[in-house]
């Protein structure tokens, strides 16, 4: 009778220990899963930020090219005005003294 009680206690203790081990493993798995989920979300957020920054860089490059082109047109226009105006013509002081 006594060996049956001892055997029953050992089985309960063993079962309790197995359940505790399983609970610990499940808790550890849950922590790992939460960490993986957090990291995945962080990676996705960083990818979106990178995409936004890349689009912004492209827009700035395009605007820069547009402004360079406009500056060239304005520079050429100013040169044409200056060459057409007598105010900006070079003077030859020797020929005026004659």
Between 13 and 72, where is the model more confident?
A: 72
Q: Residue written as tokens 């492209």?
A: 58
Q: Record the pTM.
A: 0.53
Q: What is the mean pLDDT of the chain?
A: 84
CA dihedral 34, 39, 40, 45 (to 10 degrees): 130
The per-residue pLDDT for 9 is 58
CA distance 39 to 46: 10
Helix (H) or strand (E) segment spanning residue 9 = helix 2-84
With a cut of 90, say whether residue 58 has pLDDT above it: yes
CA distance 93 to 98: 9
- Sign of the Cα pseudo-torsion (40, 43, 45, 47, in order): negative
């Amino acid at each position: 009778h006594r060996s049956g009680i001892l055997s029953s206690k050992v089985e309960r203790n063993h079962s309790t220990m197995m359940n505790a081990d399983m609970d610990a493993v499940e808790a550890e798995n849950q922590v790992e899963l939460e960490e993986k989920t957090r990291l995945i979300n962080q990676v996705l957020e960083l990818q979106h930020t990178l995409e936004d920054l890349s689009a912004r860089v492209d827009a700035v490059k395009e605007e820069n090219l547009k402004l360079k082109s406009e500056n060239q047109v304005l520079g050429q226009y100013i040169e044409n005005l200056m060459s057409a105006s007598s105010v900006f013509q070079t003077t030859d002081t020797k020929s005026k003294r004659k």
